[in-house]
Amino acid sequence: MAHDRSVASPEYLRALPKAEFHCHLEGSVPATTAVSLARRNGVKLRTADPDVLYQFDTFEEFLDVYVAVSAAMTTPRDFAEVAYDCLTDAQRTGNLRYREMSFNPTNHPSLTYPQMLEGLLDGLRSAQADTGVECRLIVAINREQSPSVARDLVADVIAHRCDEVVAIGIDHNERAGAPAEFVEAYRAAAAAGLHRTAHAGERGDSQEVRDSIELLGVERIDHGYAVLSDPDLVTSARSEGIHFATCWSTGLLHHGGDPAAIEIGPMIAAGLSVSINSDDPPMFNTDIGTEFVLAGQSLSLTRDQAADLARAGLDSAFVDDTDRSRLHKVFAAEIERLDRELDGHDPTD
Ligand code: HPA
Ligand code: ZN
């Protein structure tokens, strides 16, 4: 039986191939894993009850939990296991094909940058060998720490260059560290050929987004919802091709659970380049498949619109042209297969 082409069903939204650009390693630790890691490494969390650990009402409380869970990851093996598990889970539950995943090295003072990298690369390679999912890395600056910590971190990244680390980013509380403070770190990264993204305009105002673009030279913005309050900035972001890596469930936290208040639909309608991402999946009780189901249903996406959204970030991925066209081909074939399956054709004929 032919299905209604006009509506993207939850099954279709979940089965679409996904590429995501805004997902934090430390925010991807399931609560049960966080509790076992803390026990194994002798680190204290605010509770040993996994059902309670990820209960928070405010963004500040969320960041406290995020920092505590980061501190529970103390060995290369921890990094390998968390990376492997989160990638293979997202592949299995949401057909994740490609991710650029960020991590905060300075949240793990007991490990050197090369030690973290060793574990991460091990996890990434095993996940790709077992499921085909590809992952590159973004080194994130914690803006609540000082600009000199950020400069030292970028120097470390440059001293230990590897193909998988493609960019730097900046996260944590926007109210703590303005973009202007991190110009030097971003300049050094750009000079070394690293791509740049930044969390901005998540709760702060549009000036954060503007400063991230103009002072830090970012190519992408993580979140960026405040852009809508500045029509000139919308116009320039659109013409410069700045990409916005947005997150539905994080928006729910910021808007008291009201999907109608989430800015992602209006950002797409304004012609901005927008992708859907999972941010900190278990901490927000979500995964990349669920993010597409929530966004697709709330925005009443057609199948074609949902497929376009699944491909939307590929043009802004931090990859070379060969990899970009390979990813586009993989996505086109997968979407075509899905459409044929839903329209009642045998996908093998
Ligand atoms: N915003 C700011 N800091 C963060 C986030 C986020 O979405 N996730 C983890 N750290
Ligand atoms: Zn984030």
Mean pLDDT by 10 residues, the chain (349 residues): 74 98 98 98 95 93 96 97 98 98 97 98 98 98 98 98 97 94 98 98 94 98 98 98 97 92 97 98 97 98 97 97 98 96 63
Place of tokens 């669920």: 290
What is the Å distance from ligand 2's center to 286 Cα?
14
Order of strands, edge to edge, in the sheet holding 195-200?
A: 18-24, 96-103, 134-142, 165-171, 195-200, 220-223, 243-247, 273-277
Q: In this structure, what token pair is assigned to residue 253?
A: 């936290």
* Contact present, 259 and 252 (Cβ < 8 Å): yes
Q: CATH topology for 10-342? A: TIM Barrel (3.20.20)
- One-letter amino acid for residue 8 of the chain: A
* Contact present, 273 and 316 (Cβ < 8 Å): yes
Best residue among 171, 203, 222 to mutate for probing ligand 1, ranked by most atoms within 8 Å of CB = 171
> What global pTM score does this model have?
0.96
Phi, psi of 22, deg, nearest 5: -140, 90
Whole-number Å distance between alpha carbons of 189 and 312: 26
Report the nearest-CA residue for atom 4 of ligand 1.
172
The residue ranges of every structural domain in the chain are 10-342
In this structure, the residues whose C-beta lies within 6 A of any atom of ligand 1 are 24, 27, 66, 171-172, 199, 202, 250, 279-280
Place of tokens 């790709």: 128
Predicted pLDDT at 72: 97
Predicted pLDDT at 259: 95
Length of the chain: 349
Q: In this structure, what token pair is assigned to residue 264?
A: 């992602």
Whole-number Å distance between alpha carbons of 113 and 127: 21
202 is catalytic: yes
Q: Which residues pair with 24 in a beta bridge?
A: 102
Predicted pLDDT at 311: 97
Active-site position among 202, 263, 291, 334? 202
